[in-house]
């Protein structure tokens, strides 16, 4: 049997394969898609992923992807255009500081809560400290006073800023103001940012995709350069993240291991440690209303939550480990079959039989199900 490809350590412990995670994150930061739109698109390819899982992947892996792409960054020019644009977070205005060079290549971006001198200083310090960024020779600013004051203060703390010429030409900043449109256009399909950290990570991912679109990274191979062919976006991402793309089969565009991982773990309960202290009871759901109820004392109980007669009810299926996961799933399936024919599985055997005789026809399957449910 062929050996499985080694998995990247950053995906260790994840339910889905690296192909699914990279595809969802790449599509979200590149195209004008919401989390729910992306979840529906992946579902058409045979992988069931919730929109909240994609959101957690974006917040977790965008900073890591930025570090790996930074290894292939091309140098930018020394003539910068600096400007800031407003971003709404929970209805309050925040400011995204951005800078591009004379050719329109992105230099750096930083999200700040206020439009102050300290924010402009923090942006300029991080811009020159960024890996691969050359020290600017000229910086063009708008007429906002705080930005000019920030440069004057930086000249007092570092002599290298004294050699940077400052210009105040309103027309030279048209290139950075037009470059804001790519970021603002991508944010238009989102509902709204709910927290500062979420907005900062998401905007940095959108900025990364924008830089990739402007060809600010060199990840091409010698073979493609010699043949004059252009690599696809998937191949560029695979080289930048340190792994070659997996062979694609069928019309889905996803690897076979992706489907195997998603189907194998669909109804698997997470491992629960016995000695883990808990302060409050906890529920670990498996799907279809079946869950394990974890008590602070260490007890674990199988439960089935369902609705009958317009009311929410709970059926106890046994105590773990006396009742294993396979037995709990079997009882859960039988309870759902009873519920499908209009019988409340929480009733006792005699009450269920009276209800079934009065309203439904008796069947061998239901009789066997009632016997096993007891």
0.85 surpassed by pTM:
no
Is residue 337 assigned to a domain?
yes
Tell me, yes or no, whether 47 lies in a domain: yes
Q: Which residue has the higher pLDDT, 226 or 211?
A: 211
Q: In the structure, what pLDDT confidence band is assigned to residue 293 with cuts at 50, 70 and 90?
A: confident
Higher pLDDT, 356 or 231: 231
**In this structure, is residue 273 part of a structural domain?**
no
Tokens 């890996």 correspond to: 131
Task: Tell me which of 260-264, 277-281, 333-337 is least confident.
Answer: 260-264
- The overall average pLDDT reported for the chain is 79
Domain boundary among 178, 194, 210: 194
Q: DSSP assignment of 334-374, as one string?
A: HHHHHHHTT--TTS-HHHHHHHHHHHS---HHHHHHHHHH-
Answer yes or no: do 132 and 186 share one domain: yes
* 237 and 224 in a common domain: yes
One domain, residues 150 and 231: no
Q: Does residue 297 share a domain with residue 187? A: no
Sorted by sequence, the CB contacts under 8 Å of residue 67 that are 6+ apart come out as none
Percent of the chain past pLDDT 90, that is, above it, reads 41
Tell me which residue has tokens 């991982």: 261
What's the pLDDT score for residue 238? 86
pLDDT band at 342 (very low <50, low <70, confident <90, very high): confident
Whether residue 66 is contained in a domain is answered as yes
Q: Note whether 90 and 181 are same-domain residues.
A: yes
Query: What value does the mean pLDDT take over residues 242-259?
Result: 40
Q: Are the beta carbons of 342 and 373 closer than 8 angstroms?
A: no
80 in the same domain as 156: yes
Q: CATH number, domain at 298?
A: 3.30.160.390
pLDDT one-digit tens code per residue, 222-238: 444 444 456 788 888 88
Q: Pick 101 or 263 by higher pLDDT.
A: 101
- The reported pLDDT for the residue numbered 299 is 85
CATH value at residue 181: 3.30.420.10
Euclidean distance between CA atoms 292 and 134, whole angstroms: 57
pLDDT 10s digits, 140-161: 998 889 999 999 999 998 888 9
What does the pLDDT read at residue 4? Answer: 52
Answer yes or no: is 213 within a domain. no
Whether 200 contacts 97, CB under 8 Å: no
Per the CB < 8 A criterion, the answer to whether 104 and 84 are in contact is no
Q: Does any domain span residue 272? A: no
Q: What's the structural domain count of the chain?
A: 3
Residue 248 lies in a domain: yes
Q: Which domain holds residue 179?
A: 75-194
Domain match, 122 and 156 both: yes
Q: Lowest-confidence range among 56-60, 191-195, 239-243, 321-325? A: 239-243
Q: How many helices (H) and strands (E) does the chain have?
A: 13, 9
343 in a structural domain: yes
The gap between the terminal CA atoms of the chain, to the nearest Å, is 45
Q: What is the 3-state secondary structure (H, E, C) of 98-140?
A: EEEECCCCEEEEEEECCCCHHHHHHHHHHHHHCCCCCCCCEEE
Q: How far is CA 312 from CA 145, 305, 307, 334, in A?
A: 61, 7, 4, 18
């Amino acid at each position: 049997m062929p050996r499985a490809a080694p998995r990247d350590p950053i995906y260790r412990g994840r339910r889905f394969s690296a192909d699914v995670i990279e595809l969802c994150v790449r599509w979200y930061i590149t195209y004008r898609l919401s989390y729910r739109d992306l979840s529906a698109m992946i579902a058409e390819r045979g992988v069931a992923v919730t929109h909240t899982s994609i959101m957690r992947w974006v917040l977790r892996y965008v900073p890591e992807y930025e570090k790996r792409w930074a290894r292939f960054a091309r140098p930018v020019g020394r003539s910068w255009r600096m400007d800031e644009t407003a971003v709404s977070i929970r209805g309050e205005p925040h400011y995204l500081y951005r800078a591009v060079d004379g050719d329109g290549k992105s230099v750096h971006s930083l999200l700040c809560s206020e439009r102050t001198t300290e924010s402009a200083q923090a942006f300029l310090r991080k811009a020159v400290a960024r890996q691969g960024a050359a020290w600017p020779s000229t910086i063009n600013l708008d007429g906002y006073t705080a930005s000019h004051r920030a440069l004057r203060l930086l000249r007092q703390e570092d002599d290298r800023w004294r050699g940077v010429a400052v210009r105040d030409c309103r027309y030279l900043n048209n290139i950075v103001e037009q470059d804001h449109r790519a970021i603002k256009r991508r944010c238009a399909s989102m509902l709204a940012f709910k927290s500062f950290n979420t907005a900062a990570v998401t905007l940095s991912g959108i900025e990364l995709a924008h830089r990739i679109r402007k060809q600010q990274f060199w990840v091409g191979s010698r073979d493609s350069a010699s043949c004059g062919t252009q690599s696809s976006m998937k191949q560029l991402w695979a080289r930048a993240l340190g792994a070659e793309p997996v062979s694609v089969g069928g019309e889905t565009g996803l690897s076979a291991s992706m489907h195997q991982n998603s189907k194998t773990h669909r109804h698997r309960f997470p491992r629960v440690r016995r000695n883990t202290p808990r302060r409050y009871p906890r529920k670990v759901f498996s799907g279809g209303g079946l869950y394990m109820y974890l008590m602070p004392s260490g007890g674990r109980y199988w439960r089935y939550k369902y609705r009958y007669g317009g009311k929410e009810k709970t059926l106890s299926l046994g105590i773990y480990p006396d009742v294993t996961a396979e037995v709990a799933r079997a009882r859960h399936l039988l309870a759902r079959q009873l519920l499908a024919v209009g019988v409340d599985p929480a009733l006792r055997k005699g009450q269920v039989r009276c209800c079934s005789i009065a309203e439904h026809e008796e069947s061998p399957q239901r009789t066997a199900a009632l016997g096993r449910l007891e």
